[in-house]
Structure 1
Amino acid sequence: MWSLRRAAYSHLRSQGCRVGTLRACYTKVVVRSDYVENAVGIAGPIELVSGVCLLPKRFYHSPSSHVYFHPGSQSLSSQAGAKSSEDEEDLEDGFSELETPDSMDSIEESNRVEEVREEFVSGPDLSDVDSEASLNELDLSDAEAGATDEESKKKRSPMDLFWAIMNASHVESGLEQWVAEGNHLGRSELSFLMLTFRKRKMYGRALQVSEWLEKNKQLTFEERDYASRLDLIAKVRGLQKAEQYIGKIPESFRGEIIYRTLLASCVVALNVKKAEEVFQKMRDQDFPITTFACNQLILLYKRFDKKKIADVLLLMEKENVKPTLFTYRLLIDTKGQSNDITGMEQVLETMEAEGIKPDIFTQYLLSKYYIRGGLNEKAESVLKEMEGFSLKANRGACRNLLPLYAALGKADDVSRVWKACESKPQLEECAAAIEAWGKLGKIEEAEAVFEKMCKTWKKLPTKNYTALLRVYADHKLLSKGKDLAKRMADSGCHIGPLTWDGLVKLYVEAGDVEKADSILQKAAQQGSIKPLFNSYMVIMDQYAKRGDVHNTEKMFHRLKQAGYVGRLRQYQALLQAYINANAPAYGFRDRMKSDNIFPNRALEAQLAQVDAFKKTAISDLLD
């Protein structure tokens, strides 16, 4: 653990910050009572912003004030939980925007690389790695109430219940009809049903099922069932409603699982302040400090305040909480994002010394950052490890190998890996192959993979269409992209945020920003599903490059209307518009302060540039 903390501090030392021994308190504590949704606190001078670390039992937070704490230069704020639509089958924005790039030039590249692959980083912690705490699905056991008189109940395919509800006019009527027909409705069927809804991001329907079960006493609720309901409420109705629901849970079931579920919901909502308050409440109630809870904080601080990761690691060491594979994966990803290859390798060495072998996701991260750092030989070495002795025996690695070999420019290896999948391809492998061929500029090969999918499956998911749509966008093939979009509509494919994002990029790359803007505006008005954050940013960046302050401000306002506030990227883009227009941005610091935003080094440099445009008494006379 010491080596992990040392690696976590290494980037602070390299920036000339004095770290040394962590102390429980510091000379100044900055307290803010102006709680603003979605705010992300960033850099201030080290002597001006400091506070307390995670070692003391209390965070010293109160509902009415926000205490910024850290033995460094960053401070925190919060983001209110965003609502999810009932049937949101496309990917939500989630953690697609990883970190604030150091310069405007890197924004587009960072966005392009991370928006597709962040699922490998954040996803497993909320599903695969710690599924017992985060998904909180109904127990797979079928021994509870609701499975009475099992001998007389019909046993049907697990998907039959799903389709019975989907084909009904309402969730309740579908469930009532299912029971009336004498079908079995036990925990195993319900668990499969809830998991299916979650995978399709149909959180609203899953919540209606949970409410119906309790209302009709079809299930004896346990703590995990209440936790599952809590998670769904947070996704559908927001964190405030989720917190209110905790008060309705019987006190005997209001245990650690409930609160770490709420903690995970705060992290998904990117609400730093609320996550810290929930974590502190868990400590106040003497719940054990678990690896899951610490991983949630690391996941959040990885995005907003990397310096505080060291505090979490110190707390884990003090409480004898052992890091998991996912902990190490988060740390490797953090070091890689900071271009600290040495630190990344130190984390890997520590992980292996603890007897934890890197999995495919971890190897994917290592190779990705080696490629980004120009260390192609090291990347190839990791890729060979991912392949193992045989691609046939290690088929699960193929979907990750394809884009990585493409990033290295190795068309022969992409072809070799695809041949291992081609006879019996999986949808995810096809999407990865399309992406890979697109990176290599081999449009015909990408189209061949798509056509193979169309022949193999009767109906393709949206993401497989959008994979090819992105290829067309990257290569400015507007006509082909429009034809593909029409083909999607004709096939009855779900048109949502991923499709809108692909179309926006298609027109932006073709130079028709106004058309992209029009598409996004119409998409935003269609329903409760909001477009991706990056869809707005692609257009906003283009307006900023033109120095079009009016339209950049318009996109900035629309981002806020969509609930995307408190992210440095949109402020960077807006400032860049003023810079390119050679126009002063009057009152910009006050605007940021009102939104609880604090500039990092890159944003400070931009602010200095716009300050130079301000008129003085002399310059006004000379003009």
Structure 2
Amino acid sequence: MKHHLLLRLVRPKPNYILRSFLFHSSRRSGTTPSPLDPYDTLQRRIARAGDPSASIIRVLDGWLEQGNLVKTSELHCIIKMLRKFSRFSHALQISDWMSEHRVNEISEGDVAIRLDLIAKVGGLGEAEKFFDTIPIERLNYHLYGALLNSYASKKVLHKAEQVFQEMKELGFLRGCLPYNVMLNLYIRTGKYTMVEKLLREMDDGKLKPDIFTVNTRLHAYSVVSDIEGMEKLLMRCEADLGLQLDWRTYADAANAYIKAGSTEKALEMLRKSEQLVNAQKRKHAYEVLMSFYGAAGKKEEVYRLWGLYKDLDGFYNTGYISVISALLKMDDTEGVEKIMGEWEAGHSLFDIRIPHLLITGYCKKGMMEKAEEVADMLVQKWRVEETSTWERLALGYKMAGEMDKAVERWKRAIEVSQPGWRPHQVVLMSCVDYLEGRRDVESLRKILRLLSERGHISYDQLLYDMNGTGLSWKIVDAMGRSQYIEEGEVRV
């Protein structure tokens, strides 16, 4: 996709309308502007045109050729809507169109959004090329922030750090947003030492936080188990009458206390959190709070919130995931099975995350017969058979020390796998190591044939001699060591 150079950035003129294009298109089509149907707007037309492979510009051109007007503010709203629904290609097409027709209300913020869209549609390479076309005197906080966000979203740590350092040198760190981006990136990449360093830097800079920054920092304190730092921040925020704390703030504080083993303080934070939940946030808030009450071992609180949750309008599988997860943490198998029965009986909207959550829970407790029953239900009742189901069982048998069964379940996982599948590394390595330890070369070759038949590796390339020397290592290496998952980790 061709991206255009940055055009003139001028002060916005209120209520500017694209008249030049309208005049010429009306002359060509022989139409004259007519009153708008209030139910037929450009935004509605674009919202309905959801095919990502089709050009959205034909909808815009058609609107103008009918003699309709387009305000720049309306295009801004349309781009915002398209980004909200992840229709990034269409949003970039509108941004391209604005640039091509030299809409003279293109602001620095518009260009920053354009950079973000190019990164999402064309990749980081295209975004970098576009950034390099922007004259130095035009570069500002918004543009650097957009580039920083692009690197952070793809977890390109070294480049994000470079941009962050440049922003420091240029004096573009006047607000908290870049710090929030880097905090989240360091958390996601496991760089907890850098999290602590950045938290100290924010304190030294005496940056006045907004509620988003407060919640980000509380989460960071929780990750690095810095209870003292968290409490100081919370006390400072509570004393700031201009800062309105929300339910998430106290929920994050509760999570930190739970991890630190301070159950009573955690419960105090959870009660404060509940008091701040409004009607619009109840669904998500109850899901989060059920999980935290479960981690705190408060079964009665989990059931109390579950009762409130079920009274909300609509049906949400995410609620079942939250309550089942919470009850599994407290070993309430009877409660889990009862709620699972309610889900099966009362709702037709299938969500494989729920039975998978149950299989993982049973496997962790060594209840392999129960886990097998859920897997059988998936295959027999719902006619669903996924690689992940059998990998979970294989991992469960591995943890239970039943490697023969682990190998059989892993073979089944390979049989139903799809192109591009990446195996659970603990299962992969433990199964081939077990077979190699038994000198079961024939079984290793069968697995190799299965992997080859499913298109994952080449049998002829790897099976280089009749003795199978190094065959175990070759299988593991061929399947890749990336995306390593710790033993017992739940993949919902």
TM-score (norm 2): 0.65
- The question of 1:405 aligning with 2:293 is answered yes
Change in Cα spacing, 1:301 to 1:159, as seen in structure 2 (3 Å) is same
Tell me the SS of whatever aligns to 1:166. Answer: coil
Considering only aligned residues, what root-mean-square deviation do their CA atoms show, in Å? 4.0
For residue 452 of structure 2, what is the aligned residue in structure 1? none
Is residue 223–residue 258 contact of structure 1 (8 Å, CA) maintained in 2? yes
Aligned mates of 1:401, 1:362 — CA distance in 2: 12
Superimposed CA distance per residue, residues 298-335 of structure 1 (whole angstroms, 9 cap, x where no aligned partner): 23333443333454455545655323333343333233
Answer yes or no: is the 8 Å Cα contact 1:434–1:450 preserved in 2.
no
Of residues 367, 372, 394, the one that matches 2:254 is 367
Q: Is 2:260 the counterpart of 1:377?
A: no
Other-structure match for 1:556: 480
2:159 aligns with one of 264, 274, 287: 274
Output one character per residue of 1:449-493: Cα deviation in whole Å (capped at 9) or x when no partner: 576565xxxxx6xxx824424334434311333468658xxxxxx
Partner secondary structure for residue 306 of structure 2: helix
Distance 1:485 1:249 in 2: 55
Counterpart in the other structure of 1:510: 393
Q: Is it true that 1:448 corresponds to 2:348 in the alignment?
A: no
Aligned-partner residue type, residue 510 of structure 1: L
Q: What's the counterpart of residue 419 of structure 2?
A: 522
172 and 393 in structure 1: CA distance in 2 versus 1, 3 angstrom threshold: closer
1:266/1:272 contact within 8 Å kept: yes
In the alignment, the residues of structure 2 paired with residue 375 and residue 369 of structure 1 have an alpha-carbon distance, to the nearest angstrom, of 9
Residues 231-310 of structure 1 mapped to structure 2, 5 A cutoff: 231-249=116-134, 253-287=138-172, 289-302=174-187, 303-310=189-196
CA distance in structure 2 between the partners assigned to 1:505 and 1:425 by the alignment? 32
2:55 aligned to which of 164, 170, 182? 170
Q: Percent identity?
A: 23
Aligned residues of 2:306 and 2:323 also touching (Cα < 8 A): no
1: CA distance between counterparts of 2:60 and 2:280?
Answer: 42
TM-score by length of 1: 0.53
Q: Deviations over 1:354-374 (max 9, x none)?
A: 454642223222333433444
Going from structure 1 to structure 2, the CA distance change for 1:364 and 1:225 (only over 3 Å counts) comes to same
Alignment of 1:494-509 (within 5 A): 503-509=386-392
Query: Relative to total residues, which structure has the larger helix share, 1 or 2?
Result: 2
Q: Output the CA distance in 1 between the equivalents of 2:214 and 2:196.
A: 13
> Structure 2 matches for 1:36-435, cutoff 5 A?
143-146=15-18, 152-155=35-38, 156=40, 158-166=43-51, 169-181=54-66, 185-187=70-72, 189-217=74-102, 220-249=105-134, 253-287=138-172, 289-302=174-187, 303-313=189-199, 315-316=201-202, 319-355=205-241, 356=243, 358-388=245-275, 395=282, 397-426=285-314, 430-435=317-322
Q: Give the Å deviation of 1:253.
A: 4.5
Instruction: List per-residue Cα deviations over 1:527-563 (Å, max 9, x = no partner).
Output: xxxxxxxxx47x1122234463534433425x4xxxx
Structure 2: unaligned runs, 5 residues or longer: 1-11, 23-32, 328-332, 363-370, 395-408, 434-471, 488-492
Give the unaligned 5+ runs of structure 1. Answer: 1-139, 455-459, 488-501, 525-535, 574-623
Give the 3-state SS of the residue equivalent to 2:51 in structure 1: helix
Q: Deviations over 1:17-54 (max 9, x none)?
A: xxxxxxxxxxxxxxxxxxxxxxxxxxxxxxxxxxxxxx
In structure 2, the residue corresponding to 1:321 is in which secondary structure?
A: coil
Q: Residue 145 of structure 2 aligns to which amino acid in structure 1?
A: R
Q: CA deviation at 1:389?
A: 8.4
Q: Is the 8 A contact 2:19 2:69 kept in 1?
A: yes
Q: Is the contact between residue 145 and residue 220 of structure 1 (CA under 8 Å) also seen in structure 2?
A: no
1:262, distance to aligned residue in structure 2 (A): 0.8
The code of the aligned residue for 1:448 comes to E
Asked if structure 2 preserves the Cα contact closer than 8 Å seen for 1:435 and 1:467, the reply is no
CA distance in 1 between counterparts of 2:383 and 2:258 reads: 36
2:15 alignment partner AA: A
